[in-house]
Amino acid sequence: PVDRSPEIQEARLKLPILAEEQVIMEAINENPIVIICGETGSGKTTQVPQFLYEAGYASSNGAIGITEPRRVAAVSMSQRVAKEMNLSHRVVSYQIRYEGNVTDETQIKFMTDGVLLKEIQKDFLLSKYKVVIIDEAHERSMYTDILIGLLSRIVPLREKVDARQFPVTVHFNKKTPLDDYSGECFRKVCKIHRMLPSGGILVFLTGQAEVHALCRRLRKAFPFQKNNTAGNDDKEESVEEIRTFKKSRKRKKVMTLPKIDLDNYSVVPVDEGDEDRDAETDDDIAGSDIDLDLGDGDSEEDEKIDSSLPLYVLPLYSLLAPEKQAKVFRAPPPGTRLCVVATNVAETSLTIPGIKYVVDCGKVKKRFYDKITGVSSFRVTWISQASANQRAGRAGRTEPGHCYRLYSSAVFMDFEKFSAPEITKRPVEDLILQMKALNIEKVINFPFPTPPPTEALAAAEELLIALGALKEPPMTGRLKQQLAAKLSCPISPLGRIMATFPVAPRYAKMLALSRQHDCLPYAITIVSAMTVRELFEEFDRPAVSEEETAKLKGKKARLLQMQRIWAGQGSMQKLGDLMVMLGAVGACEYAGCTRKFCEENGLRYKAMLEIRRLRGQLTTAVNSVCTDAGLYVDPKMKPPTEAQATYLRQIVLAGLGDHVARRVQAEELLDDKWKNAYKTALLDDPVFIHPSSVLFKQLPEFVVYQEILETTKLYMKGVSVVEPE
């Protein structure tokens, strides 16, 4: 308990941050990283350390560390907090480069960012600290930036250290299913639920559709009747016929199970069929007659309906509405078992309470980019050993847990040790532009922790030259020298402006060109919408009942009707999908950007809120570059005029100049595969307008596209019309 003087207490109560204490502490308790924003003087620096102290974050084995970019702040804030808390400087202390008053009783320590950076060099996990606060992070001081980079690596490692408190027993399948891993997940969950003691189940699948399908199947198998309907996504499954059946408990010998050492990744699995190992039972299994190994899921009874065992099944994936995501953090209804069916988001970003069993399909869905063309596709691949261990660790957060891997130990041993860093996987033009803006010209020589592939660097450099963000190299010498020269082009004045906009360079270029004809508000909106992506709800999913099929059909028809309206008339229509985005945002803002409006018109509420935030941010950025623009975000934005719509198409073309496609001419139609196809400069294969595009039926001669996504074919998304002059 903290003994504050009445005057201090009175002053504290006037601070706005005091009203937020509970929200802030809940966020900190539930998340590895929390960002707190508030006005100057609201009490961030002086109060947050006190909140943490009072919540028990400081103890004999770990202090609260706070970094400040300036020495004077570190010293004075430590004094102020000590005074407010009525504690000695031996407990609330500071350390700056040349001096400090830290003792071994110190529980709250203010320091400069440079001091913490030095400490990381000696103790990478920062094990002295229970929590670290980076104050004034928005200033982006150089040391603070480096600290944030390092902490992003340290935080996941520290989490693993925490998880070690509870052992996780890993069970491998004997056989690896060829493709039906969803079915295997279903059978495994059924077995766990029927045969194993209480505790939540977390299932890792790869995508939204799979998650929904498994949820539906599980709810059908273990119906859960709700007295009061809280969430509408649970209602959709009703079960007409309820049968009960005898539980089958096929006993097997309790087997020795390999344990994960979460300190390093050296999981040495023992072969599943091998039952001759020394029996060494986990605390959790001791005294139990239940076989926790379960075997591969091949029981035939699993599809039968069992109403005696309610399972509370919840989906979790990144596009799920936040209020539905939040359900997984609440306790399941009494007498039920929680089962969360998730995508990879549950691997690191979120910690779900009460999970004791993890079912891991071993796969992940990721976006892959072609290094040169930038064409992207989503592919399902095996995860890395590090990911598999991270997933397993999710079972041991609150008590000893079990992880069921639906693949054999031999398959696991063939996994990559670690997942490849993102920088090696995606286009890097935004990164290169930022580096050039820091006057790092010879990007190829930069000491990246893992360098991007040279082809990706070259493609980025070329694109930035084409956009005018970098100065063209003098074309002399041989090919190799040309390439080298290209990878060291300096930034242009236009490039500097582009670098101040927090969006992809192609979109930054559009903003930089939009001053004429009062086009900036429209360009900002289009760029925001293209950056946020996935504005519209997806209604093309399999339904369980005829009633649901009809509901989805109705919603889709409504969305298509609205999209036709948002597409506008005349010149606007030629903006195609970009006009649909502009119209959708305009209409949504006009209606006050409410959840109701979004739900009624097939818009994703979360996306609309993100677009709103990005519009605000880009408007501020544009105003700071051209101080006379005087822009503001107008909730009642009028549709663009004919002239503006025409100019907007030119702007879009300037940013996406290499994304032009031409309809294949009749005489070129040698092969059926070229029917309705387009040709691009980058690809030999035919590309097509995506069926969701408003231009899908129109098939204009020339189009410009936002991106190409490869599914069954190469599809252009975000399409608008180009008219050759």
Give me the residues that bind Mg ion (CB under 5 A), please.
44-45
Report the alpha-carbon distance of residue 579 to residue 663 in Å, rounded: 21
Q: Which of residues 68-87 bind ligand ADP (CB under 6 A)?
A: 76, 80
Candidate segments 45-53, 441-449, 597-605, 638-646, binder of ligand ADP by CB under 6 A? 45-53
Cβ neighbours of residue 162 under 8 Å, at least 6 residues apart? none
Of ligand ADP, Mg ion, none, which one does residue 295 interact with (CB within 5 to 8 Å by kind)?
none
> Which residue's CB is nearer to ligand ADP, number 38 or number 223?
38
Report the alpha-carbon distance of residue 691 to residue 47 in Å, rounded: 54
Structure tokens at 132: 């670290």
Distance in Å, CB of 182 to Mg ion, minimum: 50
Interface pick for ligand ADP out of 8, 15, 209, 625 (rule CB under 6 A): 15
Cβ neighbours of residue 276 under 8 Å, at least 6 residues apart? none
User: Which segments of 580-640 are extended strands (E)?
Assistant: none
Structure tokens at 449: 């922790």
Distance in Å, CB of 83 to ligand ADP, minimum: 7
Q: Does residue 37 belong to the site contacting ligand ADP (CB under 6 A)?
A: no
> Which residue's CB is nearer to Mg ion, number 45 or number 182?
45
In this structure, what is the dihedral angle of CA atoms 525, 527, 528, 530, given to the nearest 10 degrees?
120
3-state secondary structure 423-449: HHCCCCHHHHHHHHHCCCCCHHHCCCC
> Which residue's CB is nearer to ligand ADP, number 15 or number 465?
15
> Which residue's CB is nearer to ligand ADP, number 113 or number 184?
113
Of Mg ion, ligand ADP, none, which one does residue 281 interact with (CB within 5 to 8 Å by kind)?
none
HSE-up (13 A, CA, CB side) for residue 721: 21
Distance in Å, CB of 23 to ligand ADP, minimum: 15
Interface pick for ligand ADP out of 46, 144, 325, 344 (rule CB under 6 A): 46
Distance in Å, CB of 469 to ligand ADP, minimum: 37
Q: Does residue 45 belong to the site contacting ligand ADP (CB under 6 A)?
A: yes
Give me the residue whose beta carbon is nearest to Mg ion: 45
Structure tokens at 530: 């293209």
> Which residue's CB is nearer to ligand ADP, number 44 or number 191?
44
Q: Which of residues 580-619 bind ligand ADP (CB under 6 A)?
A: none
- In degrees, rounded to 5, the angle at the alpha carbon of residue 206 between the alpha carbons of residues 563 and 398 is 120
Report the alpha-carbon distance of residue 122 to residue 192 in Å, rounded: 44
Distance in Å, CB of 30 to Mg ion, minimum: 24
> Which residue's CB is nearer to ligand ADP, number 51 or number 522?
51
Q: Does residue 16 belong to the site contacting ligand ADP (CB under 6 A)?
A: no
Structure tokens at 140: 């982006």
Cβ neighbours around 273 below 10 Å, total: 9
Q: Does residue 700 belong to the site contacting ligand ADP (CB under 6 A)?
A: no
User: Which segments of 105-146 are extended strands (E)?
Assistant: 108-112, 129-134
Distance in Å, CB of 98 to Mg ion, minimum: 23
Q: Which of residues 354-383 bind ligand ADP (CB under 6 A)?
A: none
**584-616 CB burial, b ≥16 within 10 A, e <16:** bbbbbbeeebeeebbeebbbbbbbbbbbbebbe
> Which residue's CB is nearer to Mg ion, number 44 or number 188?
44
> Which residue's CB is nearer to Mg ion, number 76 or number 398?
76
**537-568 CB burial, b ≥16 within 10 A, e <16:** bebeeeebeeeeeeebeebbeebeebbeebbb
Distance in Å, CB of 426 to ligand ADP, minimum: 36
Report the alpha-carbon distance of residue 520 to residue 431 in Å, rounded: 25
> Which residue's CB is nearer to ligand ADP, number 71 or number 713?
71
Distance in Å, CB of 236 to ligand ADP, minimum: 46
Distance in Å, CB of 48 to ligand ADP, minimum: 8
Report the alpha-carbon distance of residue 67 to residue 73 in Å, rounded: 9
Interface pick for ligand ADP out of 42, 377, 398, 419 (rule CB under 6 A): 42
> Which residue's CB is nearer to ligand ADP, number 19 or number 286?
19
Of ligand ADP, Mg ion, none, which one does residue 197 interact with (CB within 5 to 8 Å by kind)?
none
Of ligand ADP, Mg ion, none, which one does residue 15 interact with (CB within 5 to 8 Å by kind)?
ligand ADP
Q: Three-state SS for 18?
A: helix
Structure tokens at 178: 């060829």
The binding site for ligand ADP (CB under 6 A) comprises 15, 38, 40-47, 76, 80
